Amino acid sequence: MPNSITNRMKNNPLPRLDNSSEIREQLLPYCRLQPGDIWEDKVCGHRVGCIDATDSAAIAELMGIERAALAIHDPPYNVAAFEVKHVSEFVEWCQRWIALTYRMLAQDASLYVWIGADQNNGFQPLPDFMIMMRGQRFSPRSFITMRNQRGYGTQKNWMAVRQELLYYTKGSPSFNVEYTDIPKILKGYYKRVGGKVTENTERSKSETIRASNVWVDIQQVFYRMEENVSGCYAQKPLKSIERIIMASSRPGELVVDFFSHSGTTLLASDGLKRKCFTVDYDPIFAEITIRRLENFRATGRTGWQNGNPFEANLENLEIQENDPDIDQSSEDNSVLIQNPLL
Ligand SMILES: C[S@@+](CC[C@H](N)C(=O)[O-])C[C@H]1O[C@@H](n2cnc3c(N)ncnc32)[C@H](O)[C@@H]1O
């Protein structure tokens, strides 16, 4: 193939793959997993399944006799995916994979769930999800907010930049305190120690601030970043998943994620020497998950900044030109989107 064509295709990002039916048809033959299939990584024993998160028999097969120390779930709570479902149906559906998760976790384990809060619809599904969780056997531990760099909103409302993350525990799992790269710039909290008046920076263990339940130091994924996986529309930043894994698991332990998408949890687990079992019911996202790990091992790259996971198969693909200045990848799936304000 002439270079110019190869380059054009290589630099041509994929559109979001959940609703591009023509491209889906062309990609499906390159996907190695059919519904129900499980791929096992020969290097570290990770598993990727093309499995529905609520299919208890298939999840049991994925897990075998192993139980996880940590579950990180990022369900598709955006309006487009659930426009025909009422919130109560969505929450009922969540209850099914939450109950399954409880059974697949070790006695002492942690659960993190990313969940949306639509300000145009009573901040749902967050409040009803929280109420549902009060009836489960998990203990609530923290309500984390990650601040997005890019916001959405109107001139008549506060710009929406939040992504909500709920942290629950089963039993008494360990928790490792983490520090950010943010320097401590505020002094104060004077206290007399050994007769001497000291201020907080003198007394503290670190020059930087502790990771709290408000995260302002994580860049959301956009198309110019190396970790971007084009075709994925709801990718979480690697740094956010790494933070969760480091806080709530130890090297060698098992991490599960029932909504894999771009495979962020698998990649973060691999880098931090945890084992990961993950599933996505869509064969294309299950394939992307496997390819992201393989690509990382082959090239050291965490995504495809100027390409896409199927570029080796692209010769036969017809992809429409995308505007390179339009972010194809990082839809904020936590709120209804109105005029983007950069
Ligand atoms: C919000 S994305 C997850 C993003 C992921 N955390 C990442 O960083 O790439 C949700 C994913 O869940 C998948 N999904 C939706 N319903 C599912 C189900 N019932 N079982 C398994 N996966 C499902 C979708 O195909 C989509 O890839």
- Specify the length of the chain in residues: 342
Give how many domains the chain has, as a whole number: 1
Share of the chain above pLDDT 70, in %: 85
CATH code for the domain of 43: 3.40.50.150
Task: Please indicate, yes or no, if residue 62 is contained in any of the structural domains.
Answer: yes
**Which of 260, 276, 278 best tests ligand 1's pocket when mutated (most atoms within 8 Å of CB)?**
260
Distance of CA 156 to the CA centre of its chain: 30
Residue 212 resides in a domain: no
Q: What is the pLDDT of residues 17-60, one digit of tens each?
A: 888 888 999 999 999 999 999 999 999 999 999 999 999 999 99
- Tokens 């990609």 locate to 27
Which of ligand 1's atoms lies nearest the C-alpha of 261? 27
User: How far is 262 from 106, CA to CA, in rounded Å?
Assistant: 26
Q: Is residue 184 part of a domain?
A: no
Closest CA to 125 of 76, 169, 161: 76
∠ Cα 174 164 307 (to 5°): 95
Q: Answer whether 113 contacts ligand 1 (Cβ < 6 A).
A: no
- What pLDDT sits at residue 197? 82
Mean pLDDT of 174-178: 95
Pocket lining: 236 vs ligand 1, CB cutoff 6 Å: yes
**Is 83 within a domain?**
yes
Which H or E element spans position 152? strand 139-152
**Computed over its alpha carbons, how large is the radius of gyration of the chain?**
21
73: left (phi over 0), alpha (psi -120 to 50) or beta: beta
Q: How far is the CA of 333 from the centre of ligand 1 (A)?
A: 12
Q: Is 198 contained in some domain? A: no
- Can you tell me the distance from the alpha carbon of 207 to that of 221, in angstroms, rounded to the nearest whole number? 28
Does a structural domain hold residue 248?
yes
CA of 206 to the centre of ligand 1 (A): 37
Read off the pLDDT of each residue in 86-103 and give the average, rounded to a whole number.
Answer: 96
More confident residue, 118 or 99: 99
Tell me if 5 is assigned to some domain.
Answer: no
What pLDDT does residue 331 have? 39
Q: Does 97 sit in the ligand 1 pocket, CB within 6 Å?
A: no
Please list, in sequence order, all residues whose beta carbon lies within 8 angstroms of the beta carbon of residue 113, skipping any fewer than 6 positions away.
Answer: 73, 74, 75, 98, 129, 165, 166, 168
The boundaries of the domain holding residue 259 are: 14-172+218-336
Q: What is the mean pLDDT of the chain?
A: 87
Pocket test residue of 100, 281, 335 for ligand 1, highest count of atoms within 8 A of CB: 281
| Residue 141 confidence (pLDDT) | 98
Residue 210 lies in a domain: no
**Nearest of 49, 97, 108 to residue 73 by alpha carbon:** 97
pLDDT tens digits along 138-155: 999 999 999 998 887 778
Give 203-248 pLDDT, tens digit per residue: 777 889 899 999 999 999 988 899 999 999 999 999 999 999 999 9
